[in-house]
Structure 1
């Protein structure tokens, strides 16, 4: 489970107490809604399905995949499916390969999504061993599906943009700078990441005056 509304509020209040710019941003746009996904294989497969396509397209492919396989959330069904069946569901050759890689890691037991390492970096490393799962996908999974409180996806463009806006930077901070800036915000960086997406959705009016 992801971070609850109470956890988000507590984390952001703690950050606002030490960083006035964050406190001001919270006053402008309010607290974000939780972003919660189910833990496990299906959520990671949906992440692969949704890469480089719109939400509507990803949902349509997922529905077709579920129809073709009988249960898209069962990795054994992907392993048993033919390439033609996966293409019929809307998966490209590349995504079919990624889906098979994930299914193989899970069915073989090499990737145990119920018992990922407690250390965040070790958990990221375990996930990115799967073809098609990069660092951003791994971090978002750990934040949304496991509710790890200190995940900080510094490579996310919206996170970079909004940290720059919240702190009053003239230019968007680089990934390296975004990561450095957040060192003092441990152990609540996950709540702040979710807040930056909320702040991004508020548009230019959320910028400091």
Structure 2
């Protein structure tokens, strides 16, 4: 077994700018580049099988689905999302206008119900411009999103990855990613978020593809699909 610290001493590669991820060709380009950046990933690509694109439309609906996905189980999240979408189109204005009694039937936790209500109100009343946040530089986009009540770094990172196509994000606080990296590299324990951030620097500017790869690896090895979007 090796420790996570042993994986950090790598010579930095020259980085290049990467555009927005839009289709499967971008995923393949990212995988090819990642194997060049870190040859250890070749075996992980082989073990993982196809790496899904999984892009959703940007906007309130996409962000709301990510918030809902943070349930105890994927089945619970999917059931709640079906109830929400059954009411009608999921927009900030339509959600803000829902009767509280209707929202109560969705099965949301009190915290998530409050987050969605705050978010829909902020967007529909013009206090937050979600439509433009995806065009910002990643760090600034995350900073603005986490200023919203109930929106944490993981939620912001996943939204920017899967709804806006940002190519260089690795959600280091994701437990499944920590477990997948530990398993793939034979670590003694799951790396902390801080240690995983250090490791993931080697995969820049394709960290969003690396995250997809390790989620796919987790699904292949642990037989559980934990990617935030279906």
Q: Which residue in 2 is equivalent to 1:159?
A: 177
Aligned-residue offset at 1:182: 1.4
Q: Which residue of 2 aligns with 1:183?
A: 201
Tell me the CA shift for residue 22 of structure 1.
0.6
What is the TM-score normalised by the length of structure 1? 0.86
The correspondence for 2:143, drawn from 125, 136, 151, is 125
TM (norm. structure 2) is 0.79
Inter-partner Cα distance in structure 1 for 2:128 and 2:40? 40
Identify the structure with bigger relative contact order (alpha carbons < 8 Å, sequence gap 6+).
2
Q: Which residue of 1 aligns with 2:34?
A: 15
Q: Deviations over 1:34-59 (max 9, x none)?
A: 11112110111122233324333333
Question: Matches of residues 1-209 of structure 1 in structure 2 within 5 Å?
Answer: 3-68=22-87, 70-71=88-89, 73-116=90-133, 117-203=135-221
User: What is the SS of the residue equivalent to 2:187?
Assistant: coil
In proportion to residue count, which structure has more helix? 1
Distance 2:174 2:112 in 1: 22
RMSD of the TM alignment (CA)? Answer: 2.2
Deviating more after overlay: 25-34 vs 131-140: 25-34
Q: Name the CA shift for 1:3/1:94 in 2 (closer, same or farther; >3 Å).
A: same
Structure 1: runs of 5+ lacking an equivalent: none
Change (3 A) 1:179 1:88: same
State the partner residue of 2:9. none
Q: Which residue matches 2:6?
A: none
Q: Are 1:2 and 1:37, in contact at CA under 8 Å, matched by a contact in 2? A: no
User: Number of matched residues?
Assistant: 203
Query: Which stretches of structure 1, 4 residues or more, deviate above 4 A after TM superposition?
Result: none
Q: Distance in 1 between matches of 2:146 and 2:131?
A: 16
Distance 2:189 2:86 in 1: 47
- Listed one character per residue, the Cα deviations across residues 74-103 of structure 1 (whole Å, up to 9, x for unaligned) are 222232233222113333433322111010
